[in-house]
């Protein structure tokens, strides 16, 4: 999901008020929204909260200099992909080399020609948009239009890190279509595809704009729910479960589809590792499957049973059989 707004947002990190005034005036007709930071620390905070399209960064600033600012931006999951153009009075080749090694996209020397800087800014924004489009296409499931497993892995890590810093809430769900193989065998693969597409449409309809529904693989799906408690996640999943249970397919009037859900707000052993969150949700899904299917189960570390092969069902990590 591309975080940048349609109007490009330019974050200028420079301790000189004169540079801020100059660029705001010279670029006021370029269709840019401006954010101003006068220190590296302030710039990093703004970058994380606002996710600008592009950052212009001065190297020589008191406190956290430009090099340290790049390091922090590139080490932070939310901001590591934002392109950075250095604007600096330094003519030293070593400074340019280090800036590029740390991840800067371009380097403009002060005093700069405003026409050249404008061209470099527009080029960086266009390139970033193209890269975002290509990356987005590579992370979208072709059948359902949901995010795929690659995006899920990256996004879950970022959300867990964000929760740890902000002390916020986060819930994670793995859901699986019940008896999907039997459905395919009985009605054919086009019917199975119709169920997958319909379930994906229900997920998109029932979650918020900033939630992250994904196709985990096969008939398995996952949902990342930021700012959501475990009980709130259960309400969302019940809504989705009921919607699918009530769904009908005119072309396949005898077909009936349901889903099981496993929800967690913590990783196995209380860890922040994404793999442990996946395992925790998988434990709950295992319990949902083995207690009758078509239900929502919350992860409980005290009662969780390991998802192992039993009576034809396996945990998600072992390619859950429906």
| Domain-located, residue 1 | no
Which residues are CB-contacts of 181 (< 8 A; sequence separation ≥ 6)? Answer: 321, 322
Answer yes or no: are the C-beta atoms of 105 and 84 closer than 8 Å: yes
What's the CATH number where 233 sits?
3.30.70.270
Q: What pLDDT sits at residue 100?
A: 95
90 and 172 co-located in one domain: no
Q: Indicate if 247 belongs to the active site.
A: no
Q: Give me the residues of the chain with pLDDT under 50, please.
A: 1-5, 309-322
Q: 268 and 167, same structural domain?
A: yes
- Please report which residue ranges of 139-226 form alpha helices under DSSP H: 149-166, 180-187, 189-206
Task: Give the whole-angstrom CA distance, residue 282 versus residue 91.
Answer: 55
Query: Looking at the 3D structure of the chain, how many domains does it have?
Result: 2
160 and 306 part of one domain: yes
d(CA 313, CA 322): 7
In this predicted structure, what is the pLDDT of residue 306? 58
Residue of 159, 206, 219, 220 marked catalytic:
219
Which residues constitute the domain of residue 156? 149-318
Both 283 and 161 in a single domain? yes
Q: What confidence score (pLDDT) does residue 298 get?
A: 97
Residue 228 shares a structural domain with residue 105:
no
Sole residue written with tokens 């404008």: 118
CATH number reported for the structural domain that contains residue 50 in this entry: 3.40.50.2300
Residue 143 domain-assigned (yes or no)? no
Q: 133 and 208 share a domain?
A: no
Q: Is the dihedral of CA 149, 150, 152, 156 positive or negative?
A: positive
pLDDT score at 136? 72
In a shared domain, residues 16 and 127: yes
pLDDT digits (tens, 9 = 90+) for 182-201: 999 999 999 999 999 999 99
Print burial letters for 289-314: b (CB count within 10 Å at least 16), e (below 16): beeebbbbbbbeeeebeebeeeeebb
Token pair recorded at residue 166? 């902000």
Domain boundary among the residues 103, 137, 171 is at 137
Q: Which residue has the tokens 């922090």?
A: 72
In a domain, 297, yes or no: yes
Whether residue 208 is found in the same domain as residue 289: yes
Same domain, 70 and 203: no
């Amino acid at each position: 999901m591309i975080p940048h707004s349609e109007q490009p947002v330019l974050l200028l990190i420079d301790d000189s008020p004169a540079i801020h005034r100059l660029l705001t005036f010279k670029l006021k007709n370029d269709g840019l929204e401006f954010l101003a930071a006068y220190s590296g620390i302030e710039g990093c905070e703004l970058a994380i909260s606002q996710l600008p399209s592009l950052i212009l960064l001065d190297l020589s600033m008191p406190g956290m200099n430009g090099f340290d600012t790049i390091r922090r931006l590139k080490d932070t999951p939310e901001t590591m992909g934002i392109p950075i153009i250095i604007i600096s009075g330094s003519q030293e080749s070593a400074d340019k080399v280090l800036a590029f090694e740390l991840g800067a996209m371009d380097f403009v020397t002060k005093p700069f020609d405003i026409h050249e800087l404008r061209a470099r800014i527009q080029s960086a924004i266009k390139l970033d948009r193209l890269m975002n489009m290509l990356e987005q296409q590579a992370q979208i499931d072709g059948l359902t239009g949901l995010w795929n497993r690659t995006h899920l892995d990256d996004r879950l890590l970022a959300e867990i890190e964000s929760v740890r810093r902000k002390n916020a809430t986060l819930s994670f769900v793995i859901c699986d279509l019940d008896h999907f193989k039997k459905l395919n065998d009985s009605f054919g693969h086009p019917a199975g595809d119709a169920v997958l597409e319909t379930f994906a449409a229900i997920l998109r309809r029932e979650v918020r704009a900033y939630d992250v529904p994904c196709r985990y693989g096969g008939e398995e799906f996952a949902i990342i729910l930021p700012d959501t408690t475990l009980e709130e996640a259960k309400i969302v999943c019940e809504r989705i479960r009921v919607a699918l249970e009530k769904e009908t397919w005119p072309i396949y009037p005898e077909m009936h589809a349901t889903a099981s859900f496993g929800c967690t707000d913590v990783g196995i052993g209380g860890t922040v590792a994404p793999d442990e969150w996946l395992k925790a949700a998988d434990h709950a899904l295992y319990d949902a499957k083995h207690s009758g299917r078509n239900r929502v189960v919350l992860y409980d570390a005290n009662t969780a049973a390991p998802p192992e092969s039993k009576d034809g069902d396996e945990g998600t990590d072992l390619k859950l059989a429906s």
